[in-house]
Chains A and B, each alone.
Chain A
Amino acid sequence: MDMYDRQQKELGRLQAKVAKGSMSRREFLSRVSAMGLGAMAPGLYMQSAMAAPKQGGTLRQALTGGASSDSLDPATFLDSYMINVGMGQLRNNLTEIDENNQLVPELAESWDSSDAKTWVFNLRQGVEFHNGRSLTSKDVVASIQHHLGEDTKSAAKGIVSQITEITVQGDNQVKMVLEGANADFPYLMSDYHLGICPENDDGTIDIQSGIGTAGYKLESFDPGVRTYVVRNPNYWKSGRAHFDAIETLFVADTGARENGLMSDELDVISSPALATASRLGERPGIEVFYTNGNQHCTLPMLNNVSPFDDNNVVMALKYAIDRQEWLEKIWFGYASLGNDIPIGPANQFRATNEEIPQREYDLDKAKYYMKQSGYSSLDLKISVADTAFQNSDDACVLFSETARAAGINIEVVRKPDDGYWSNVWLVDPWCASYWGGRPTEDWMFSQVYSKNAIDTGWSETYFNNPRFEELLPQARAELDSAKRRDMYIEMQRIVHDNCSVIIPIFSAYGHASSDKVKRSANVASNWEFDGHKNVERWWFG
């Protein structure tokens, strides 16, 4: 060990002490000066005091997507409020998506598979539930089985139904056998429905008490209003869960969330109004930040309905939309352009701009495809509602203006939010829709773009492409990353050119917080609020 290494090591030790609060500024400065680093000492102190999380304080956060009909049953989780409470505060999964959008172990310490079909998860030892009981493999099996079975209404059924056999191997191992090979399976275990709950004596799981293994214990839960949790002193993760307590409010009204933040009743809020976000961020003490995730808007067309059965019409529409204008006028720049591909920035194998160039507003090409289709002009209707995505009506009015020049007349039909997903989506030939995005390519493609998706009721387009169907299981089973990448790029190209869906925008997740709330430089973007793990990753500075 040379002199420099030794110095670095000593410095690291001192900085860690400062971070923990066990060394004063004065002591740190004198020790560092003694090492011959006097001039750098104040900066080093700031760095360590800033960068390292501090414990304490009650985080008061306001989220959307709650309701008085919410419940603690993970099978019913649907929207951000319960995802944050369930996955972020109370329960852990087998695996986790970390702040760099990478898969990391959570309750499973490691996993193994030789054929991507039989998976063995090794559980972490010494993990305790909030009631003091130790976690065993039985809890894991029961928690997964909660989403299986005929009469389940779990939204995770689509993920777990590929499991044909799930068994306990001793106290600390779980074996799962799938019906087909799936290299992404450990990713799927990070799904927010699959939080691990304690098993009851009869083999079901305890979904009512909110007992889990995560960083916070439930104190009170008032659905649609407020959830209050306190720190779990025995949390098994080190360097996580820094707040003493967390108060999570459901605040549907954007103005109310912003008022709460500005009047210091709240520390962090989701989704500030796009139009005024930059002005909110200019207020002293308030910070507005966005993360670009996989959430995207879609304008799907049912390809068994004329004229959407003609890919030329679809292509004409794909070139007749001005995505840049949408980005600037509807999202005020807080989003990124979509390229008619449902794979987003938080995915592993997203095609780069060199691989599949960004599609732009091109009137000549739109006219060319119109000519190919044989139509001289087209009258189309698109159904929109705010529940599909905010301001979808305004956005589609912009679209109708840019498309008119290509001889396409689009009538924007505003539908009620209530019942939209049952009465409009998959019913009207063309409508607005959105997807929260999926952490893996296979998940997104299988769930929405495969032939199977037509039967399960998720396909927005009735897309059915033989080459795509051929690649889908191959890519899923492939354990070699480079080969998988090639296959996924080809599949993205097929959707880009052949699927009757326009994907104009990947919308960013918006947050506003008091500047007292600190976070590390990297923030996960698979969901809002640092992948809904903000409660264990953020801290008060």
Chain B
Amino acid sequence: MSSLTKIILQRLGLGLLTLFAVSVIIAFAVELLPGDITQAILGQSANPETVAAFRAEIGLDRPAHVRYLEWLKGILTGDMGQSLANKRDIEDFFGARLSNTLFLGGVAAVISVPLALLLGVLAALYRDSIYDRVVNLTTLTSISFPEFFVAYILILFLSVNIGIFPGISNVSKDLAFGEKLFRTILPALTLTLVVVAHMLRMTRAAIINLLASPYIEMAVLKGTRPMRVILYHALPNAWGPIVNVIALNLAYLVVGVVIVEVVFVYPGVGQLLVDSVSKRDLPVVQVCAITFAAVYILLNLLADIVSIISNPRLMHPR
């Protein structure tokens, strides 16, 4: 077995353990929150009788560990369970929510990753120039504002004032791809503005870091053009740290979109998670949290694999 396969298998095993730990922590944390689902749903009309009837109906009168083990058994056999609140099968509606979130994350990634890399490479090439400063200033500004503020600014200019894009992203599954894309543009742009700075600065820093190396000086002395020096000599050795940052940001595009989803009324997993936590709907919270954790673990694994492949020293450890 090659060392790479071994590393991957090891990581996947550890990932499963992490997921298990996450599910325990989530179950425990939801248990700690004040009130339970019956009180959250019944609100002001939560008198002891109705609460007791409701608890018995959804099996909430049994101890927490029994309910957790039952859930664990279900999830290991591929049964996501039912929402406690309205008894819908989670797999019936979770898929649609997840595909919405992945779609939004995907659109944002397609815009932001190439943009960040391009701007980053150019910033390294023309470092300390006016261009470098302007790009840095703009992206750092946009990352410094809270997401909802960036979202509202975009809505104000692109939606309310000019009226190009819709101010809320009312996407449903029967929309055509083009229409769905159109309605997803504003939230995707918001996310782009939030994540570009991080990737751009890492690209710039990783490349500049290498520019002081002897082999780059050699290339410069040979008279290679600056652009070629960066793309063919510096960039291949800078991939490790850059991919790591890209992976982190891609993960953020999936799991960090809660606020953007709320502002644009985008029906994704983030909105579902917030809703379910406030209603204490544990099975739904678990599925959302496990999915988010899995996305994080897999993207980090991917980043590690890429940095190992791009670095011969790690490919063949002594």
Contacts and interface: CB of A to CB of B under 8 A. Distances in A.
A and B bind: yes
Interface stretch (A163-171, A175-183, A418-426): A418-426
B168 A69 contact: no
Contacts of A152: 50, 53
Contact of B167 (A220, A260, A418): A260
A337 interface: no
Contacts of A276: none
Given A71-B86, A256-B168, A422 B264 contact: no
Interface string A144-177: 0000001111110100000000000000000000
B262 A253 contact: yes
A111 interface: no
18 contacts: A68-B272, A68-B276, A69-B83, A69-B86, A70-B85, A73-B86, A151-B53, A153-B53, A153-B57, A155-B45, A223-B93, A225-B267, A226-B172, A418-B33, A419-B34, A421-B39, A457-B47, A457-B48
Among B33, B87, B163, B172, the most chain A Cβ lie within 10 Å of the Cβ of B172
A68 B50 contact: no
Interface in B249-264: 262-264
Contacts of B160: 259, 262-263
Interface in A34-88: 62, 67-71, 73, 76, 78
A62 B167 CA distance: 13
B45 A262 contact: no
A419 B87 CA distance: 22
B79 interface: no
A422 B35 contact: yes
Nearest to B159: A263
B40 A418 contact: yes
Interface in A228-282: 247, 249, 251-253, 255-256, 259-260, 262-266
Contact of A458 (B47, B57, B167): B47
Given A71-B87, A418-B34, A418-B35, A153 B168 contact: no
B45 to A, nearest CB: 5
A7 B278 CA distance: 63
Interface string B43-84: 111111010011011000000000000000000000000011
A416 B33 CA distance: 11
A224 interface: yes
Contact of B275 (A68, A71, A154, A419): A68
Contacts of B123: none
Contacts of B276: 68-69
Contacts of A497: none
A352 interface: no
A78 B57 CA distance: 18
A456 interface: yes
B56 A151 contact: yes
A10 interface: no
A71 B85 contact: yes
Contact of B86 (A62, A223, A418, A419): A223
A78 B170 CA distance: 24
Given A153-B53, A418-B34, A421-B39, A78 B267 contact: no
A309 interface: no
Given A256-B167, A458-B47, 17 more contacts: A68-B272, A70-B85, A71-B88, A151-B53, A155-B50, A157-B50, A220-B172, A222-B93, A251-B168, A260-B167, A262-B159, A263-B163, A416-B34, A418-B40, A421-B39, A423-B34, A457-B47
A151 B170 CA distance: 39
Contacts of A251: 168, 265
Contacts of A249: 168, 170, 265
Among A223, A263, A423, the most chain B Cβ lie within 10 Å of the Cβ of A263
A453 to B, nearest CB: 10
A10 B220 CA distance: 96
Contacts of B107: none
Contacts of A265: 166-168, 170
B278 A421 contact: no
Contacts of B45: 78, 155
Contacts of B163: 263-264
B38 to A, nearest CB: 8
B44 A259 contact: no
A319 to B, nearest CB: 28
Nearest to A68: B275
Interface residues of B, number: 52
Contacts of B279: 67-69
A260 B168 contact: yes
- Minimum-distance CB pairs A-B, first 4: A69-B85, A419-B35, A259-B167, A457-B47
Contacts of B33: 418-419
A223 B94 CA distance: 12
A238 B107 CA distance: 48
B42 interface: yes
B284 interface: yes
A256 B50 contact: no
Among A152, A249, A265, the most chain B Cβ lie within 10 Å of the Cβ of A265
Contacts of A423: 34-35
A3 to B, nearest CB: 55
Contacts of A69: 37, 41, 83-86, 275-276, 279, 281
A419 B172 CA distance: 33
A76 B86 contact: yes
A418 B279 CA distance: 9
Nearest to B156: A259
A70 B40 CA distance: 12
B54 A418 contact: no
A255 B160 CA distance: 12
B39 A425 contact: no
Contact of A260 (B93, B165, B265): B265
B291 to A, nearest CB: 15
A189 B223 CA distance: 90
Interface in B1-49: 33-35, 37-48
A206 to B, nearest CB: 15
A256 B265 contact: yes
A77 to B, nearest CB: 11
B292 interface: no
Among A73, A153, A255, A433, the most chain B Cβ lie within 10 Å of the Cβ of A153
A223 B47 contact: no
Contact of B272 (A220, A224, A255): A224
B86 A70 contact: yes
Among B37, B40, B44, B57, the most chain A Cβ lie within 10 Å of the Cβ of B44
A74 B167 CA distance: 32
B150 interface: no
